[in-house]
Amino acid sequence: MNRQFNNTAAFIPLWKKAVAVKIIRKPKVLSDKASELRQTKSEAARQTKPEAVRQTKPEAARQRKPGKKKYSYRRRSNTPFRLPRKHERFSNGPHYRKAEPKPRQKQKQKPFVPPVSTEPTESCTNGLNMEYGAGSTAGAEEEMASLLPPYTVLPEVSAREIMAAGLQLYLPRLKPLLRPEEVHQRLEHSLAGGQPLSVVRLGDGELLALAHDTVLPLEHAKSAGHFLTAAGMTLPDYQARSILADAVRKADIIGIPFSRLPTYQGLLFPVLRYYGIDYGPLIFTTSTINYALHEYGFLQSLLQDKQVLVIGNLAEELARKLTVSMVHVAGVISPVNGFPDIPRVLSEASMHSFDIALVASGIPAVVICQRIATELGKSALDFGHLADKLISGELSYN
């Protein structure tokens, strides 16, 4: 320790650290009589002692008095005390040597072994399906019980049987959806005759975009549609909302969700009613028609020997995948920066000679597909996230 603690009286060792403590002595308060006596004694001593004696202290006085410890400036050890182990003792006596610290051994890291598969196992899937089925059944039974008159029961009839019987009353109101083979036939017919046809899809993003500040409060739509900015629309955008509603009204085939959850069919028909769109004459298919066409091989037969225009933020990557699969790519338009970019996209599309356009640009794809059909007289398919899966290799084109 440095000699900067000259006025310190003691050191208190802590764990691996010595802390210097300075003791401050309080001055003694003497009475007037005692202070006068002390002054007289000191003056008398100065007069009796010669000058040489007062300046130099005798050697005997500087020697240590018996019983008084000599002050040492040696630093105290701050290592904790511990008893030595048996193997650390000397064999010739009860003396001990200082234990040497053991070197830390590096633990061998086990090599990373990737999992065989990240997909859920069959037992896990079955367990989830069982839990979901049990929950939905219990919810249906409780809902049915709430509809019964008070103090009555309906023995030996399940909620499913009641729903099946009640559904018979609503069979005339069922709205048919085009199957994948029917959509394929209509696209094939339009391509053969050079007629325009637009196939658009409405998912939760498009429905939330149509519902904000109309069917749903703005804050509710924002919280449910946190992904809408990445899909090409930032709420609120009333002009884009009107353009989207007009495109839905004029589209030829509209894909709608099967799900009856609140943000799917729970929004679809209230939104159509709000905009005054009569869904009776509309032609519906499933919103996953893009995947269905690919899965059943209809997409490959449609694009064979056709000039294909690819539009979207990932259009260049998708075009390379299609070219490898012997698809004739007539042109690429990328990127698509939301609704304000739609006029530029249509202007560039008019400069290309193509038979069918594959559009993967989020929510603006609905408008682009509809306008390619009505303004350019071509066929257009809302390609959606199928483009991402083909680019990443999750799905194979062939």
Condensed to tens digits (0 to 9), the pLDDT of residues 3-45 reads: 555 455 444 455 445 555 555 565 655 556 566 666 666 666 5
Total count of domains within the chain:
1
Q: Token match 């071509």: residue?
A: 378
For residue 98, tell me if it sits in a domain: no
CA dihedral 94, 95, 98, 102 (to 10 degrees): -40
Q: For helices 342-349 and 364-376, what crossing angle results, to 10°?
A: 40
For residue 221, tell me if it sits in a domain: yes
For residue 54, tell me if it sits in a domain: no
Task: Decide: residue 251, CB within 10 A, 0-12 exposed, 13-18 middle, 19+ buried.
Answer: buried
Provide the percentage of residues in the chain whose pLDDT is more than 90.
56
Distance (Å, rounded) from C-alpha 177 to C-alpha 256? Answer: 9
Condensed to tens digits (0 to 9), the pLDDT of residues 67-96 reads: 555 555 555 556 665 665 655 555 555 555
Distance (Å, rounded) from C-alpha 197 to C-alpha 319? Answer: 22
For residue 192, tell me if it sits in a domain: yes
Question: What's the pLDDT at 136?
Answer: 74
Question: What's the pLDDT at 262?
Answer: 87
Question: What's the pLDDT at 52?
Answer: 47
What φ, ψ does residue 121 adopt, rounded to 5°?
-70, 170
Distance (Å, rounded) from C-alpha 397 to C-alpha 325? Answer: 7
- The C-alpha angle with vertex 268 and arms to 263 and 273, in degrees rounded to 5, equals 135
Which range of residues forms the domain containing residue 342? 179-398
Identity at 46, one-letter amino acid code = R
Local structure of 137: helix, strand or coil: helix
Provide the percentage of residues in the chain whose pLDDT is more than 70.
66
- The answer on pLDDT for 145 being more than 70 is yes
For residue 57, tell me if it sits in a domain: no
Question: What's the pLDDT at 138?
Answer: 82
For residue 383, tell me if it sits in a domain: yes
**Mean pLDDT along residues 50-74:** 54
Label residue 332 by pLDDT band (50, 70, 90): very high
Condensed to tens digits (0 to 9), the pLDDT of residues 292-310 reads: 999 999 999 999 999 999 9
Condensed to tens digits (0 to 9), the pLDDT of residues 103-136 reads: 666 666 555 444 444 445 555 556 656 665 666 7
**Mean pLDDT along residues 145-159:** 88
Question: What's the pLDDT at 143?
Answer: 85
**Gyration radius from the chain CA atoms:** 45
Question: What's the pLDDT at 58?
Answer: 52
Question: What's the pLDDT at 188?
Answer: 96
For residue 382, tell me if it sits in a domain: yes
Q: Token match 């009204």: residue?
A: 249
Q: Which positions ≥6 away from 8 have C-beta within 8 Å?
A: 20, 21, 22, 23
Question: What's the pLDDT at 9?
Answer: 47
Identity at 342, one-letter amino acid code = I
Condensed to tens digits (0 to 9), the pLDDT of residues 339-383 reads: 999 999 999 999 999 999 999 999 999 999 999 999 999 999 999
Label residue 315 by pLDDT band (50, 70, 90): very high
Question: What's the pLDDT at 119?
Answer: 47
Distance (Å, rounded) from C-alpha 180 to C-alpha 40? Answer: 122
Structure tokens at 256: 């709608």
For residue 82, tell me if it sits in a domain: no
